[in-house]
């Protein structure tokens, strides 16, 4: 198991690592301890938790699908394209990761809100985005898509270009090459990008509350529900938090499983 | 140009050097493009296949125009019919052997069953029938090479392009594979361009050889043609002879030929003016003292390099220009040849070939 040759250096390393391990484990364990299983079931049956869960699953799945749909071409462009302004585009994609999500929410409001840059024109047409479920999805895509794009880009970059060239000479169109060679070879990176983006969308809070508000059934996702519950009922907040933890563990296990399935040739 | 052959003519700027090359390959013919690394050999293949663009290019295959920049024609790689065997083969690691070979027919719209049947036929023909279901990552170097060849051929190409087909094979496999490939190419009968940096590949596989250096075709000819009349340093090295560009005096009998710092005396009654001189290293006699007799060409020089070969020594001597000589190990030992040693070289006029 241990790749370290000498027992004493291994012991030293464990000692040095232990503080962070404890620091990470104790709060998560507290969450589990705070909510007895019976209590968890009762709390989760509450309309607030159920609605938040349903909304969260719906919005994060749509948001993740949008990240993949819109992010895949961009990731390939960044991986393969040679054009002016690539560095600028690269920075643009990184920014939503580095800015505080609340700032992202304000930015979205200023763009798509009723008085926003684009929003005021949409408003004339009778379309309002701010404080709707659509806004929740948009906030999630804004914050989560860079995670998918970065992972997918790294995956595409790792695909040997000559394999794509070989496929072209064998008679395949660029689109056919992409589907039959590039995507299968980049699959592990694409899947890990999906999981990362979904996990980030699940934990989205700041941008959502700024841009979509906190309306039960419409924009109140699990994280927002935790905050609302916390104002009146710590146990309910802990139960909903516990639910988020279960989803996160599910995402990680799913990612490991999908990752393990790679490498075996098909057909 | 004969029906079904390949014609290539292109000018391209490739960052640090300029490619300007043209050649033709007849049906059933194998043209070997040989030259030092970064001479532009692989670029020529990429231009034929349409994987790169050139400022000016014309590529035709039989009556088909694949590319003609002057006429605004530039077909996509999938719109040309090339069987391209890449360096290190570029097999699809996520597909099994059969899937790799069936890829071409499948991409060209045949059904899965048809494609796999065609792939299996090529695999059987190349003696790979047994490994069809194996992942390509489990194959030996020689097997991978044959899978790459089967994949290229299964897409029903009109031209075969082979980029360094032996570079990733070990020395023992190489010789066998070379013989196999030669007879297989004859059997398939497609116009073939084979790129290599190895003179032995060029001499054993090429019906014709084109020597590429710094983006230019410096000499084209049959193997015998090249070996007998090298006109460039690259070819001289390939043929293993000394070659000099010389200015030949007029007249008959023994006459002067000035090759830079060296003045040779040669026999060439029917020639004058700019000519090439060539002689084999074994024709050069190396001695410690100036020979007392009267050979027509005697030069003093300093040994620059000594290369021990299995049965002899190859010595490079600076005599104003570099001259390569070969002598037995015994002769080398008694002369104590080593870099820096002063020696005398003598060459008979009759040993020097003169040509234009």
pLDDT tens for residues A147-192?
Answer: 999 999 999 999 999 999 999 999 999 999 999 999 999 999 999 8
Is the pLDDT confidence value at A260 over 60? no
Mutation site, B45, B76, B107, interface A, largest A CB count within 10 A: B107
Task: Please report the number of interchain residue pairs, chain A to chain B, with beta-carbon separation below 8 angstroms.
Answer: 82
Among B301, B299, B298, B303, residue whose Cα is nearest residue B313: B303
- From residue B176, alpha-carbon distances to B33, B112, B179 in Å are 21, 34, 5
Among B67, B61, B102, B261, residue whose Cα is nearest residue A266: B102
Domain residue spans of chain B: 6-237, 241-355
Which residue in this structure is represented by tokens 């570099």? Answer: B322
Q: Who wins on pLDDT, B227 or A211?
A: A211
For residue A265, tell me if it sits in a domain: no
Q: Which of residues 64-83 of B touch A (CB under 8 A)?
A: 76-78, 80, 82-83
Taking only the tens place, the pLDDT of each residue in B165-190 is 988 888 778 888 888 888 888 888 99
Cβ-defined contact of B86 to A166 (cutoff 8 Å): yes
pLDDT score at A197? 94
Is the pLDDT confidence value at A137 over 90? yes
- From residue B308, alpha-carbon distances to A212, B5, B304, B335 in Å are 81, 44, 13, 15
> Which residues on chain A are in Cβ contact (under 8 Å) with B96?
265-267
Please state the length of chain A.
Answer: 267
> Which residues on chain B are in Cβ contact (under 8 Å) with A267?
95-96, 98-99
For residue A49, tell me if it sits in a domain: yes
> Which residues on chain A are in Cβ contact (under 8 Å) with B49?
165, 168-169
Fold of B241-355: OB fold (Dihydrolipoamide Acetyltransferase, E2P) (2.40.50)
Average of per-residue pLDDT values in chain A: 89
Is the pLDDT confidence value at A5 over 70? no
Q: Which of B77, B83, B98 sits opposite A168 (nearest CB)?
A: B77
Which residue in this structure is represented by tokens 């869960």? Answer: A53
Among B83, B235, B229, residue whose Cα is nearest residue B163: B83
For residue A22, tell me if it sits in a domain: no
Angle at B228 between CA B223 and CA B20, to 5 degrees: 60
Which residue in this structure is represented by tokens 């701010």? Answer: A130
ipTM of the complex as predicted? 0.80
- pLDDT under 50: residue ranges of chain B: 1-2
Domain count, chain A: 1
Q: Which residues of A touch B (CB under 8 A)?
A: 160, 162-163, 165-173, 176, 180-181, 184-185, 264-267
- Domain range for A124 is 37-260
Q: Which of B78, B151, B152 sits opposite A168 (nearest CB)?
A: B78
Q: What single string gives the DSSP state of each residue in A72-131?
A: HHHHHHHHH---TTHHHHHHHHHHHHHS-HHHHHHHHHHHHSTTSTTHHHHHHTT---TT
Percent of chain A at pLDDT > 70 equals 93
Mean pLDDT value across residues A53-64: 96
Cβ-defined contact of A172 to B78 (cutoff 8 Å): yes
What whole-number distance in Å separates Cα of residue A106 and Cα of residue A122?
18
Q: Are A140 and A209 in contact (CB under 8 A)?
A: no
What whole-number distance in Å separates Cα of residue B277 and Cα of residue B353?
6
> Which residues on chain B are in Cβ contact (under 8 Å) with A170?
78, 103-104, 107-108, 151-152, 155
Mutation site, A158, A168, A169, A183, interface B, largest B CB count within 10 A: A169
Cβ-defined contact of B93 to A265 (cutoff 8 Å): yes
Same CATH topology for B6-237 and B241-355: the answer is no
Q: Which two tokens stand for residue B246?
A: 């010389």
Is the pLDDT confidence value at A227 over 60? yes
Q: Which two tokens stand for residue A76?
A: 């390939």
What whole-number distance in Å separates Cα of residue A104 and Cα of residue A97?
10
Q: Are A167 and B151 in contact (CB under 8 A)?
A: no
- From residue B251, alpha-carbon distances to A123, B271, B323, B327, B348 in Å are 99, 8, 26, 34, 19
Mean pLDDT value across residues A250-261: 73
Question: What is the nearest CA distance from B225 to chain A, expressed in angstroms?
Answer: 34
> Which residues on chain B are in Cβ contact (under 8 Å) with A185?
93-94
Q: Which of B84, B92, B95 sits opposite A169 (nearest CB)?
A: B84
Mutation site, B94, B101, B134, B148, interface A, largest A CB count within 10 A: B94
Among B260, B265, B238, B225, residue whose Cα is nearest residue B249: B265
pLDDT score at A159? 96
Q: Are B215 and B203 in contact (CB under 8 A)?
A: no
Mean pLDDT value across residues A73-94: 92
CATH architecture of B6-237: 3-Layer(aba) Sandwich (3.40)
pLDDT score at B168? 80
Q: Which of A162, A171, A180 sits opposite B108 (nearest CB)?
A: A171
- Closest residue on chain A to B151 (Cα): A170
Question: What is the nearest CA distance from B83 to chain A, expressed in angstroms?
Answer: 7
For residue A52, tell me if it sits in a domain: yes
Question: What is the nearest CA distance from A182 to chain B, expressed in angstroms?
Answer: 10
Taking only the tens place, the pLDDT of each residue in B59-118 is 999 999 999 999 999 999 999 999 999 999 999 999 999 999 999 999 999 999 999 999
Among B133, B128, B137, residue whose Cα is nearest residue B93: B137
Q: What CATH number does the domain containing A186 carry? A: 1.10.3720.10
Percent of chain A at pLDDT > 90 equals 62
């Amino acid at each position: 198991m241990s790749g370290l040759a000498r027992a004493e250096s291994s012991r030293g390393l464990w000692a040095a690592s232990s503080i962070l391990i404890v620091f990470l484990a104790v709060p998560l364990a507290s969450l589990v301890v705070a909510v007895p299983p019976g209590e968890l079931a009762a709390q989760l049956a509450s309309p607030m938790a159920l609605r938040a869960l349903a909304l969260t699953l719906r919005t994060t799945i749509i948001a993740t699908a949008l990240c993949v749909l819109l992010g895949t071409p961009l990731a390939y462009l960044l991986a393969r394209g040679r054009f002016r302004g690539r560095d600028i585009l690269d920075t643009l994609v990184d920014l939503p990761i580095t800015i505080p999500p609340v700032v992202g929410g304000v930015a979205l409001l200023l763009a798509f809100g009723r008085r926003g840059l684009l929003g005021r024109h949409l408003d004339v047409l009778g379309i309002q985005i701010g404080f709707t479920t659509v806004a929740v999805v948009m906030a999630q895509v804004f914050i989560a898509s860079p995670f998918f794009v970065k992972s997918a880009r790294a995956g595409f970059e790792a695909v040997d270009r000559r394999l794509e060239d070989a496929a072209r000479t064998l008679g395949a169109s660029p689109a056919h090459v992409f589907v039959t060679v590039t995507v299968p070879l980049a699959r592990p990176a694409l899947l890990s990008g999906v999981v990362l983006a979904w996990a980030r969308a699940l934990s989205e809070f700041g941008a959502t509350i700024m841009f979509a508000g906190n309306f039960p059934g419409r924009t109140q996702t699990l994280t927002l529900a935790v905050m609302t519950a916390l104002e009146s009922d710590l146990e309910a907040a802990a139960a909903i938090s516990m639910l988020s933890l279960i989803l996160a563990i599910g995402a990680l296990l799913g990612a490991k499983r999908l990752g393990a399935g790679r490498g075996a040739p098909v057909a | 140009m004969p029906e079904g052959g390949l014609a290539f003519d292109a000018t391209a700027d490739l960052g640090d050097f300029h490619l300007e090359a043209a050649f033709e390959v007849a049906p059933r013919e194998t043209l070997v493009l040989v030259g030092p690394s970064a001479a532009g050999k692989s670029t020529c293949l990429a231009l034929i296949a349409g994987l790169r663009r050139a400022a000016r290019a014309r590529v035709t295959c039989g009556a088909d125009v694949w590319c003609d920049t002057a006429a605004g024609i530039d077909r996509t790689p999938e719109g040309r019919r090339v069987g391209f065997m890449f360096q290190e083969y570029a097999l699809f690691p996520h597909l099994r052997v059969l899937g790799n070979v069936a890829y071409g027919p499948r991409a060209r719209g045949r059904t899965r069953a048809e494609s796999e049947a065609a792939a299996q036929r090529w695999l059987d023909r190349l003696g790979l029938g047994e490994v069809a279901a194996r992942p390509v990552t489990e194959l030996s170097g020689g097997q991978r090479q044959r899978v790459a060849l089967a994949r290229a051929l299964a897409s029903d190409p009109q031209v075969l392009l082979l980029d360094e087909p032996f570079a990733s094979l070990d020395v023992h496999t190489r010789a066998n594979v070379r013989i196999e490939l030669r007879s297989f190419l004859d059997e398939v009968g497609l116009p073939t361009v084979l790129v290599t940096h190895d003179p032995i590949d060029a001499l054993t596989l090429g019906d014709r050889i084109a020597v590429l250096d710094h983006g230019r075709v410096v000499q084209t000819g049959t193997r015998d043609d090249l070996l007998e009349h090298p006109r460039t340093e690259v070819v001289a090295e390939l043929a293993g002879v000394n070659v000099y560009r010389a200015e030949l005096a007029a007249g008959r009998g023994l006459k002067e030929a000035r090759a830079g710092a060296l003045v040779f005396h040669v026999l060439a009654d029917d020639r004058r003016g700019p000519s090439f001189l060539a002689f084999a290293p074994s024709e050069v006699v190396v001695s410690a003292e100036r020979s007392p007799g009267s050979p027509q060409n005697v030069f003093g020089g300093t040994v620059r390099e000594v290369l021990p070969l299995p049965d002899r020594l190859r010595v490079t001597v600076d005599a104003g220009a570099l001259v390569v000589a070969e002598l037995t190990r015994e002769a080398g030992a008694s002369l104590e040849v080593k870099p820096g040693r002063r020696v005398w070289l003598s060459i008979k006029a009759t040993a020097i070939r003169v040509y234009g």
